[in-house]
């Protein structure tokens, strides 16, 4: 039997293990249990999902695409989920985002 000892890296938020430091750092940055990634908006009664029409145009065609996005009734503003940043969604889909990311703290937050 062969036994190896290796240095492993563990996420301080969810305790997943990684052999690569680079992968562990990337995971920690976007870990669902990282307090920096938790948004009060997800549980707020004032947030609702509404359709948003986006016009895409390039040299070949123009196209309207409808997305369902979070909308805050208190701030009267569309937000996007911070997970879309991690997935590089805006760049991949050619969307020029005028929305803001969900706030980390909200002064308007009322009962959940």
pLDDT in tens, 35-64: 888 888 877 888 888 887 777 776 777 778
At a CB cut-off of 8 Å and minimum separation 6, what does 70 contact?
41, 47, 48, 49, 78, 79, 80, 81, 102
Q: CA–CA separation, 72 vs 61, rounded Å?
A: 32
For 24, other C-beta atoms within 10 Å of its C-beta total 19
> Does residue 106 lie within any of the structural domains?
no
CA angle 91, 61, 77 (to 5 degrees): 45
Type and span of the H or E element at 26? helix 21-30
pLDDT (0 to 100) of residue 34 = 87
> Which residue segment(s) compose the domain that 14 sits in?
1-37
pLDDT (0 to 100) of residue 19 = 94
In tens, the pLDDT along 2-47 reads: 998 999 999 999 999 999 999 999 999 888 888 888 888 877 888 8
- Based on the domain organization, do 57 and 95 belong to the same domain? yes
- Based on the domain organization, do 31 and 44 belong to the same domain? no
- Based on the domain organization, do 28 and 64 belong to the same domain? no
SS3 assignment, position 36: helix
> Does residue 82 lie within any of the structural domains?
yes
- Based on the domain organization, do 31 and 45 belong to the same domain? no
- Based on the domain organization, do 94 and 83 belong to the same domain? yes
Count up the domains in the chain and report the number: 2
Residue 112 has pLDDT above 50, yes or no: no
Q: What phi and psi values does residue 95 have, to the nearest 5 degrees? A: -95, 125
- Based on the domain organization, do 15 and 45 belong to the same domain? no
- Based on the domain organization, do 19 and 33 belong to the same domain? yes
- Based on the domain organization, do 3 and 51 belong to the same domain? no
- Based on the domain organization, do 24 and 53 belong to the same domain? no
Token couple for 37:
């990634």
């Amino acid at each position: 039997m062969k036994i190896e000892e290796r240095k492993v890296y563990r996420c301080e938020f969810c305790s997943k293990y990684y052999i690569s430091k680079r992968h562990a750092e990337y995971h920690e940055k976007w870990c669902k249990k990282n307090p920096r990634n938790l948004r009060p908006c997800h549980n707020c009664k004032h947030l609702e999902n509404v359709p948003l029409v986006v016009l895409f145009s390039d040299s070949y065609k123009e196209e309207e695409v409808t997305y369902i996005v979070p909308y805050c009734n208190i701030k009267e503003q569309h937000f996007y989920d911070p997970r879309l940043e991690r997935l590089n969604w805006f760049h991949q889909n050619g969307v020029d985002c005028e929305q803001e990311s969900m706030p980390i703290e909200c002064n308007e937050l009322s009962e959940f």
